[in-house]
Amino acid sequence: MTSSSYFRYPHVHGDLVTFVAEDDVWIAPLEGGRAWRVSSLQLPARNPRFTPDGKRLVWTVVQGTAPEVVSADVDGGNYRQLTYFGHSTTRVKGFTASGSVLVTSAFRQAESRHTYAYSVPVDGGWAEELPFGPVESVAFGPEVGDERPVVVGSVLSREPAWWKRYRGGTAGKLWIDADGNGEFERLLPDLDGNLADPMWVDGRIAFLSDHEGYGNLYSVLPGGKDLRRHTDHEDFYVRHAASDGKRVVFESAGELWILDSLDSEAVRLDIALGSASQSRRPALLKTSKHLGAVVPDATGTASAVESHGTIHWLRHKDGPSRIVEATPGVRGRLPRPLGDGRIAYVADHGGVEALHIRDIVATVPHAALPVGKEHAGKGHGTAAAPAGAVQLPGEAGDGATALPQPVPAAGAAVLAGAGTFVPADDQQADTQQADVAPEDTVSAADAQSGADAPGISIPLPSRASALESSPDGRRVAVGTSFGEVYVADTRTGDFVLVASIGEGTIGELAWSPDSRWLVWSEPVTSFGSRSRLRLADMANPGTSPVDVTDGRFGDKSPAFTPDGKYLAFLSNRSFDPVYDGHSFDLSFPSPIKPYLVALAAGTPSPFGPAVAPDGGEGSGTDTSGGQESGETPEVAVDPEGLAHRVITVPVPQGNYTSLGTADGALLWLDWALAGVTGDGKASQDDKEARPSLVRFDIARRKKATLVESLDSYRLSGDRSTIVLISDKQVTAVPADAKADEESGKLVKVDLGRIRVMMDPLSVWGQAFDEAWRLQRDFFWAEDMAGQDWESIHKRYRPLVERLGSHDDLVDLLWEMHGELGTSHAYVRPAPVTENGSQGQGRLGADIAHTPAGWEITRILAGESSDPLATSPLTRPGVDAKAGDILLAIDGVPLSASVTPAMQLVGAAGRAVELTLLNGPAHAGAAGTQRRVAVVPVKDEERLRYQEWVAGNRRTVREASAGTFGYLHIPDMMANGWAQLHRDLDTETALDGLIVDVRRNRGGHTSQLVAELIGRKVTGWSMPRGEKPRTYPHHAPRGPVIVLADEFAGSDGDIITQVSKLRGIGPVIGTRTWGGVVGIDNRFALADGTGVTQPRYANWFSGGVGWSVENYGVDPDIEVAYPPHAYAAGRDPQLEFGIGALKEMIQELPTDRPPAREGYRRLRPAPLPARSQAR
């Protein structure tokens, strides 16, 4: 195995180059050769920079729960932490003109994507905010007289290589203050590319750009003239360029390159680590951390366990585990015991998903022992290891250290060739005992390891989404993500297509007790909002499936009762709406009930009514739902009238999932009605809501809770045992009653018995291949929008062998996804933190170091309706005020070198003691010293956000003499819906309305928002003694202005475009993000890393078509927000919007309630005179 060689984030000084590899900082000679490690934290590091004198390094690395700026001597000594921001956006970006560390972070901002620049002393101390507003990078130019020019790069939504050829609103822009007077203007405003990493090199401004279709290094004169290209990379982007003012160093494809000057050619640096990398060392699997499916066998005494792509057989009470599938570089999924000593599962041997069937217990292949007179009485010699046998470290023939391989399964059903199936032994296949080993010995020549077992291929394009084995083990049903249902015969290998709808996911399958009938839930609309149940007779494979339900509702979670008389399922066909508590609306928050279908026409409802049987007493109906004997019931199905034999189970409607059936009972997960954001919890420390497991007794018509809180459960084949997963722990409990530890019936399954070594390089290779396949199979355009995806794989795959850490893999996946040139192609690893660390504590205030000490300059007001927007300093009993001095925390005196942030490390959510000196605002009590207890918060973003919204609303009110409303919508999800409704009544009742969708993070509620803000007043409700109300309710009474910017993306793009198409109001601001190919977050890699596939493309009418993707939505009136406006505390877009709204009101007067006149009079006129009789 070669050492890693994936290098990132270089910087140069003198004859040395520093960079990141294997999650640490390294230094190497510029002429090449062996590098040496500076740090050994094994935590993702970023952007190491030599100090201007070359004696120290500064970089960012995770400290506690977030990256922080740290420094060390070039030789690795004198390590110290410089910042305590506690924010994921913190990055070193170089040095200021005075030599302080230049850092970007959003730790004091209302928007985490708005990273500001800060100056931090090299020895640590107060972080001074620089006057540039949100920036990605800052480059200070050479001083000329008393002037020092500066170039800033705008905030990027992601780095250019991760979304190649991006042209949307957040595409990188360069701004220059040419003479240092604080006024900025665009540099190269007409260059249509994604510009990043500006740096001053020999009087020119160098930067990265992809305006010619590829990411390369360019430079230009400060006046914007003489644009030059300095590199010619086409296969991989030039990334992370840095300079010492003369030379430029950068990375491309994990290699380091240098230009000695802008007039020279780039040269690749030949550097070797020679490292025994900890990240590449094989290690034991952490089973609980990566726990997947746990599926019990027929008897409920053992389970198939999936973890990190490996599959194991584990008895519940005791005994060792057994590896079923753990081939390096292969991911196994969806294990299902067959009930005859075999397991079926899906695995991707050779990069192709296939169905595999293997014995649980196998006889290990071995070489024949020598027998004969010449060996009599002698010890046996060591036989050569047969093919497929376990090979221990040190036994590898080539001298390399080999990983232990799983014992091959004897009798494994595998393909002998294309379309040919090698059947398992018939006698073995008929065996109904689990854990029975075949008696015949498989020779070494016949044994096949998992790597040699291609299995039963699933036709492409497809991906197995569900797998269930029949009770007799004879068949395995496979559902796919493309709406197909297949059935495999486990003895012959026949693989039959049962049904195909060509779209949607088949996620739920179930077999009848006699193994004859297969049922599944099949989507009939996009996004699975409606689905139907279908039933296939596998004894007559030529017959068409039967529709059990018609697809008018969402019918899911089918399961046969053990007696075979009924099919149970869950359906959202309960229509009992609930009035909304905040606005005039009705919804169906709990629409689900369990139902039964009588399969035979003559089967009565178990809930009656029924007549007594002839010649005897009783109801004549078996309401147990169980079996009268141990014989397998024969299931009879009368297709005619099946949909009309649906029986409602007598329980209240609710939020139910995962229906199962046991003898005489139904089981399901019951989710308590809870909010989406979690803001409605009793305490923010409460855990996220989880379901309870409910058992409904059919005969008694009563339900009971078996488990109060869990994640998932699975019934054993005989319905006697429930295996449940809760907080990554596995427990086996009886299915007929609640069990506790004292009863002796509850078994905690020890997952620690599962032991398998995981080879990181093999794991990373499989992850890369699977991520590539997922894009191939689920990207929204089958032709990959013209991209040659096969060639992308060939180009990127070799880089896997050079990776030094999981963080490197994440970077490589991002760059591969970037080749799609499409939004929403994300890679989402689990957050990296130091073990046992607690979040950085924050006080919900601005604190500055002044001559008097650490002064509280502002306390954030917060929002009483938002539990995440409360400052600890405003809590009862604290009585802190602006101007107070913070003297000590937990008794530790503060000073210029001992900062409040240093003393609040790990204090989030924990009580601390503050020693305060009252300031002038306390009047007569000024100068008094006192101690108070507070609980610091982990994150101030929501607190600062609500302060920002309140400030904007105050600006609008003051500028309009109280007549204009202001609404900000932070996203198109639950949080944004809540924020919109906080002030909807008040703001829509004013003369004009500004709807601000700047910084909108997207989501899926834009159509709801558009309906609300696009309402027009068509009438008035005029109650006596109350204020009039518009019809429809919440309709804006006057003209509407929409503010948008480059950070309005995804559904934020869509609400902006829809506002234009529907004429809701003019859009003012800048072009939006440009990402409208949505995702569904369905897939994760074996280690839990999320990877998304841009799958849901949006097209718009009005001549817009597909053009929003990778471009954005142009405003009707463009108003830029330059860096100097931020520095001055101005909001030019809001200011322009207020002025535009004033002009609109002159032309479009506000709707006002009518005067109470002109209505029909109730008192009749006097009677006319009667006509005289003649």
Catalytic residues: 824, 1050, 1109
Which residue type, as a one-letter code, is found at position 464? A
Sole residue written with tokens 């107070």: 884
Sole residue written with tokens 């518009």: 1030
Smallest CA-to-CA distance from 63 within 75, 46, 76 is with 46
Q: Give the span between the Cα atoms of 1142 and 1039, in whole angstroms.
A: 9
Number of neighbouring beta carbons within 10 Å of residue 686: 9
User: Exposed e or buried b for every residue in 873-908, given b needs 16+ CB within 10 A?
Assistant: bbeeebebbebbbbbbbeeeebeeeebbbebbbbbb
Half-sphere exposure of 818 (CA within 13 A, CB side): 25
SS3 477: strand
- Contact present, 480 and 465 (Cβ < 8 Å): yes
Tokens linked to 470 = 């029949």
Q: Give the span between the Cα atoms of 867 and 131, in whole angstroms.
A: 32
User: Exposed, middle or buried: residue 1144 (CB in 10 Å: 0-12, 13-18, 19+)?
Assistant: middle
Q: Give the span between the Cα atoms of 804 and 5, in whole angstroms.
A: 7
Helices 806-818 and 789-796: angle between axes, nearest 10 degrees: 150
Beta bridge mates, 18: 11, 27
Smallest CA-to-CA distance from 1055 within 1092, 1118, 1100, 1103 is with 1100
Cα angle, residue 399 at apex, residues 395 and 400 outer, rounded to 5°: 90
- Contact present, 594 and 647 (Cβ < 8 Å): no
Tell me, what DSSP letter sits at residue 832? Answer: P
C-alpha 324, offset from chain centre: 30
The rounded radius of gyration (Å) of the Cα atoms in the chain is 34
Sole residue written with tokens 């077992």: 453
**Four-residue CA torsion sign, 480, 484, 489, 493:** negative
Tell me which H or E stretch contains 558: strand 555-560
Tell me which H or E stretch contains 248: strand 248-252
Sole residue written with tokens 């059936």: 661
Q: Give the span between the Cα atoms of 672 and 675, in whole angstroms.
A: 10
Residues in the chain: 1174
Q: Give the span between the Cα atoms of 1131 and 1137, in whole angstroms.
A: 10
Tokens linked to 327 = 């081939």
DSSP one-letter string for 705-768: EEESS-SEEEE-TTSSEEEEEETTEEEEEESSS---GGGT--EEE-GGG---EE-HHHHHHHHH
Tell me, what DSSP letter sits at residue 972? Answer: B
Beta-carbon contacts of 667 under 8 Å, excluding residues fewer than 6 positions away, are 659, 660, 661, 693, 694, 695, 696, 706, 713, 715, 722, 735
User: Exposed e or buried b for every residue in 930-962, given b needs 16+ CB within 10 A?
Assistant: bebebebbbbbbbbbbbbbbbebbebbeebbee
